[in-house]
Amino acid sequence: MRKTIISTVSIMVFGMALVFFVHSSNNRFALVVNEDGVTYQLDKRSGKTWLIEGNKKTPLDDPAAPRPKLEKFEMASEELKKLQVEGRINKGTFFGKLYNGTDQPLTRVTFKVNAREADGRLRWSRDFTEGMFVKPQTTGRFAITVTDGDDVGEVSWTIIKAFTRPLTNGSPAGR
């Protein structure tokens, strides 16, 4: 009986160690996308980092070194007309969907939001900037916390500014 208990416990410990090893091996790398849409691969064990651009993976030797920055450009007013927004305010959050009908990735957008009382008087008018990455010809979502957003009547918004960056070589998605 004692040998059976010892062998059962030994098998369980070996099995748990095997599961831990397999899990840590399969869960070793993480893909991280920053707010500008730049993708990095991180090795959780060693701390090594790679910049991913299209099909190219460039190692970054010093994780503390500054990352390469892609130039951002403000979209022209005719390009802003190709952006379509559906949004609303509910429980202190302005949220919705934004369709990027341009041929460039969207990296940041500035909304002018007007909230009116139930009787039509203007309660407030504010500008909100949201960093988001929306590929060309796709839809992205946003959620912006607002103060004094409860019990508003009608809400209207316009896009004041939008920012883009050039597509990287070999990447139709813009990453």
CATH number at 73-164: 2.60.40
Question: 70 versus 132: which is more confidently predicted?
Answer: 132
Query: Could you read off the pLDDT of 124-153 as tens digits, one per residue?
Result: 888 988 888 898 999 999 888 888 777 777
Q: How much is the pLDDT for 82? A: 92
**pLDDT of 172 above 60:** no
- Asked if residues 99 and 139 have their Cβ atoms less than 8 Å apart, the reply is yes
Q: What share of the chain is helix, strand, coil (3-state, %, to 5)?
A: 15, 45, 40
Burial class of 1 by CB neighbour count within 10 A (0 to 12, 13 to 18, 19+)? exposed
Q: Quick check: helix, strand or coil at residue 17? A: helix
pTM for the structure as a whole: 0.56
Query: Could you read off the pLDDT of 150-160 as tens digits, one per residue?
Result: 777 788 888 99
| Extents of the domains making up the chain | 1-60, 73-164
Taking residues 52-61, report their average pLDDT: 81
**pLDDT of 122 above 50:** yes
Instruction: Return the C-alpha torsion angle 14, 18, 21, 24, nearest 10.
Output: -120
Query: Could you read off the pLDDT of 80-103 as tens digits, one per residue?
Result: 899 999 988 888 888 899 999 998
pLDDT band for position 32 (cuts 50, 70, 90): confident
Q: How much is the pLDDT for 161? A: 92
